[in-house]
């Protein structure tokens, strides 16, 4: 990772101050806390929610399932019990749809290590309530894929704009082009763009 941050600075010196002021990016360096299925359930819960609120709801679901968030258990619980944790109707529907896709074998998490980013994203977005952004965050933070460039993420765009003192908003298409020189470690670049916005 230190080698990659040095490469980032050499390719784009605008990142130097942010890299120096931030902790070292840990994408791909830590073992996931949850299973693939659990991580996606928590991701669905956290969509458009404050971190603390999402954590509270997730904890309720963990307790309800007796710390065993699996597709089979989710389907046994059903929408009413899932909603009792504070999950919205739309998110409960998404969680159940994910469980159905998993239980039926339409999504096979065991084969994800052999699939490309695009193949995994294509599988995940078939689930109601999981879009491109959620799939990309899963690829980046759960699977530790280093080559994800989430140009539709507002935080990444705002961070890039701030770093490069842009006078107007950068479009996803423009940012996609700008990121070509970071091929292979775009996730790291995105991570530092977020640090700019957070600081």
Spatial CA neighbour of 178 closest among 197, 157, 198? 157
Q: Assess whether pLDDT exceeds 80 at residue 199.
A: no
Percent of the chain with pLDDT over 90: 96
Q: 36-142 in CATH: which number?
A: 1.10.340.30
123 confidence band (pLDDT: 50, 70, 90): very high
Residues annotated as catalytic (active site), given as ranges: 153
Could you read off the pLDDT of 11-56 as tens digits, one per residue?
999 999 999 999 999 999 988 999 999 999 999 999 989 999 999 9
Residue keyed to tokens 């969509």: 47
In whole numbers, what is the pLDDT of the chain averaged over residues?
Answer: 96
- For 69-136, the DSSP string reads --HHHHHHHHHHHHHTTT--HHHHHHHHHHHHHHHHTSS-GGGGGGS-HHHHHHHHTTSTT--HHHHH
- Architecture per CATH, domain 2-27+148-198, reads as Orthogonal Bundle (1.10)
197 confidence band (pLDDT: 50, 70, 90): confident
Residue 157: the pLDDT is 97
Residue 121: the pLDDT is 97
In the chain, domain spans:
2-27+148-198, 36-142
89 confidence band (pLDDT: 50, 70, 90): very high
Compute the 3-state secondary structure of the chain and give helix, strand, coil in percent, each to the nearest 5: 65, 0, 35
Asked if domains 2-27+148-198 and 36-142 share a fold, the reply is no
Residue 198: the pLDDT is 78
pTM for the structure as a whole: 0.94
129 confidence band (pLDDT: 50, 70, 90): very high
80 confidence band (pLDDT: 50, 70, 90): very high
107 confidence band (pLDDT: 50, 70, 90): very high
């Amino acid at each position: 990772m230190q080698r990659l941050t040095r490469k980032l600075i050499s390719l784009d010196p605008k990142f130097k101050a942010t890299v120096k002021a931030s902790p070292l990016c840990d994408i791909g360096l830590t073992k996931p806390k949850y299973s693939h299925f659990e991580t996606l359930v928590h991701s669905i819960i956290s969509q458009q929610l404050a971190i603390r609120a999402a954590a509270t709801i997730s904890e309720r679901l963990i307790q309800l399932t007796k710390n065993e968030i699996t597709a089979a258990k989710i389907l046994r619980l059903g929408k009413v019990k899932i909603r009792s944790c504070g999950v919205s109707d739309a998110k409960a529907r998404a969680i159940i749809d994910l469980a159905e896709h998993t239980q039926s074998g339409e999504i096979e998490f065991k084969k994800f290590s052999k699939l490309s980013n695009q193949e995994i994203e294509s599988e995940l977005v078939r689930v109601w309530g999981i879009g491109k952004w959620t799939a990309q965050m899963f690829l980046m933070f759960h699977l530790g894929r280093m080559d994800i460039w989430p140009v539709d993420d507002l935080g990444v765009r705002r961070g890039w704009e701030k770093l490069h003192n842009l006078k107007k908003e950068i479009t996803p298409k423009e940012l996609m082009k700008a990121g070509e020189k970071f091929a292979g470690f775009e996730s790291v670049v995105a991570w530092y763009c977020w640090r700019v916005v957070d600081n």
